[in-house]
Amino acid sequence: MQRVARTVVALVAAGVLAMAAGCGDDDEGGGGGGSGGAPKPETLKIGLIPIADVAPVFLGQKQGFFKEEDITLEPQFAAGGAAITPAVVSGDFDIGFSNTVSMLIAGSKDLPIQIISQGVLGGTDEKKAWADLLVPKGSPAIKDPKALEGKTIAANTLNNICGVTINASLEAEGVDVSKIKYTELPFPEMNAALEKGSVDAACQVEPFVSAGKASGFVGIAPFYIRTAPDLTVATYFASRQFIEEKGDVVDRFVTAMEKSLAYAEEHPDEVREVLTEYTEIPPEAAEKIQLPSWKPELTIPTIEKLSELSKKYGYIEEEPDLDTLIRK
């Protein structure tokens, strides 16, 4: 973003002495002439989930992309989009990170939020899946997914992208998904619950997929990739009020975020390093996990598909208007 130095010029009528040179130095509005002053520094509270998906935020901070836009980020962690969305609507958070289905549900209820930036994509190669449905080694579900009928699957929050994409993946294999139950557990607690047998399967993401597989769990359905290649899994969003009041700040955030997404995709080694700073994953484990896919552009057709599936599985009654939900 081009920086233009602020200069205050006092316009005076003929015959009136010029104003003192320092008269307008403290004017934050750039003299009121709309001449394009330097952006006002902003501190933004951003709601995140402590998983690999949000690594570009922390990497972008390290690279100075947000500083270039005069933005300071204050990360706030939550269990998932279902918790972050109300915090954004209430103004407790300025920006939020949420799975796309939670955004579609919010849009269907006319909540005053808008998607402003891509967050993370599901990828295209099942062998490199960073999200998978984990089951214990030796589980009958490994041989026949229909064994999951009547069983309980852990999801980080209820009625989110876990349920929609797992349902879509399992239904394609002949599973009656109406017989599947979901229970809410934070990602870091899922593997322990699976080990104890308190859940039968877990909707897991990195870094917990690799940790689970290392302990003997088996992935049976890389649900994001099977739902759609390059699925827009999650996005960054803000309230409409915040967007209306601070549209320039949002533009600056998006500029920095897009740089961060592109940088993360091109520098996987630096992603692995930054993961150890905001998650509990040790360096040796960070070296082995499957990284998510990042790019600046939203994959709109995959959001449309998630909207259709969300209605099919009863997560929403009517599909939201994506032209309203997604900020242009």
Q: Which of residues 197, 227, 257 is at a domain's end?
A: 227
The three-state (H, E, C) secondary structure of 187-255, written as one string: HHHHHHHHHHCCCCEEEEECCHHHHHHHCCCEECCCHHHHHCCCCEEEEEEEEHHHHHHCHHHHHHHHH
**Is residue 164 located within the same domain as residue 176?**
yes
**Is residue 135 located within the same domain as residue 221?**
yes
CA distances from 240 to 39, 107, 127, 257, 304 (A): 21, 12, 39, 19, 21
Note whether residue 279 is domain-resident.
Answer: yes
- C-alpha span between 293 and 186 (Å, rounded): 22
Please count the structural domains in the chain.
Answer: 2
Residues 62-85, mean pLDDT to the nearest whole number: 93
**Is residue 162 located within the same domain as residue 112?**
no
pLDDT digits (tens, 9 = 90+) for 125-169: 999 999 999 999 999 999 899 999 999 999 999 999 999 999 999
Q: What per-residue confidence (pLDDT) applies to 263? A: 98
Tell me: pLDDT of 8 over 80: no
Give the structural domain span for 96: 43-122+231-298
pLDDT digits (tens, 9 = 90+) for 185-226: 999 999 999 999 999 999 999 989 999 999 999 999 999 999
Note whether residue 163 is domain-resident.
Answer: yes
Q: Give the Cα-Cα-Cα angle 54, 76, 83 (nearest 5 degrees).
A: 85
Buried b (16+ CB within 10 A) or exposed e, 268-298: eeebbbbbbebbebeeebbeebbbbbbeeeb
**Is residue 223 located within the same domain as residue 235?**
no
Q: Which of residues 183, 205, 227 is at a domain's end?
A: 227
Tell me if 295 sits within 8 A of 261, measured CB to CB. yes
The mean pLDDT of the chain is: 89
Q: Which of residues 208, 227, 246 is at a domain's end?
A: 227
**Is residue 86 located within the same domain as residue 162?**
no
**Is residue 208 located within the same domain as residue 262?**
no
pLDDT digits (tens, 9 = 90+) for 251-299: 999 999 999 999 999 999 999 999 999 988 889 989 999 999 999 999 9
CB atoms within 10 A of CB 243: 18
Note whether residue 204 is domain-resident.
Answer: yes
**Is residue 220 located within the same domain as residue 136?**
yes
**Is residue 235 located within the same domain as residue 118?**
yes
